[in-house]
Homo-oligomer: A and B are copies of this chain.
Amino acid sequence: MNESHKLVRSNLDYLKKLFIMPDSPDKFIEFGHELLELIHEFFQEKGGIHSSATLPELSAIFNDTNIPESPLLIKDVLTEIKSKIIKHSVKVGSPYYIGHMTSAIPYFMILLEMIIAALNQNQVKIESARASSFVERELIAWVHNLIFDRKSSFYEKNIHNHHISLGNVTSGGTLSNMTALMVAREKAFPPDGDFPGLRMAGSNKALSHYRYSRGVVMVSTRGHYSITKAVNLLGMGESNVINIPVDNNNHIDIRKLRRKIKALQEETHERTKIIAIIGIAGTTETGNIDDLETLAQISREAGAHFHVDAAWGGPALLVDEYRPMFKGIELADSVAIDTHKLLFCPASMGMVLFRNEKDLNLIKHSSHYIIRRNSVDTGRFTLEGSRPFACLKPWAALKIIGRKGYGLLFQHARESTNYLRGILDHCGNFEVLNNPELFILNYRFIPEQVRDQISILEGISAYSNREKARDAEKKIRNINKLINSLNIKFHRELRRDDSTFVSRTTLESTRYRPQNIVVLRAILINPLTEKEVLDEIVQTQNRIGLTIWRDFKPAYLRIRDEVK
Contacts and interface: CB of A to CB of B under 8 A. Distances in A.
Most B Cβ at <10 Å: residue of A72, A134, A152, A370: A134
A503 B69 contact: no
Nearest to A215: B202
B527 A145 contact: no
A347 interface: yes
Interface string A140-159: 01110110000010011001
A114 interface: yes
B81 A386 contact: no
Instruction: Count the copies.
Output: 2
A475 interface: no
Interface in A100-143: 100, 102, 104-123, 125-132, 134-135, 137-138, 141-143
A561 to B, nearest CB: 33
Nearest to A366: B225
A28 B36 contact: yes
Contacts of A112: 117
A208 B237 CA distance: 14
Interface string A53-93: 00100110111111111111110011011001111111011
Interface string A346-388: 1110000000000000010111111100001000000111111
A178 B15 contact: no
Contacts of A178: 233, 383
A312 to B, nearest CB: 11
A406 to B, nearest CB: 9
A347 B386 contact: yes
Contact of A369 (B109, B237, B503): B503
Contact of A67 (B106, B318, B385, B400): B318
Contacts of A369: 284-285, 503-505, 521
Contacts of A40: 21-22, 25
Contacts of A19: 93, 104-107, 344, 526-528
Interface stretch (A192-200, A243-251, A445-453, A534-542): A192-200
A127 B99 contact: yes
A417 interface: no
Contact of A111 (B32, B175, B401): B32
Interface in A397-412: 398-405, 408-409, 411-412
Interface stretch (A166-174, A292-300, A325-333, A476-484): A166-174
Nearest to A43: B21
Interface string A466-510: 000000000000000000000000000001000001011111000
Interface string A531-564: 0000000000000000000000000000000000
A239 interface: yes
Interface in A177-222: 178, 182, 185, 196, 198-205, 207-208, 213-215
Given A31-B111, A138-B62, A237 B205 contact: yes
Contact of A127 (B238, B384, B501): B501
The 5 closest A-B pairs by CB, nearest first: A202-B237, A235-B235, A88-B131, A369-B505, A65-B155
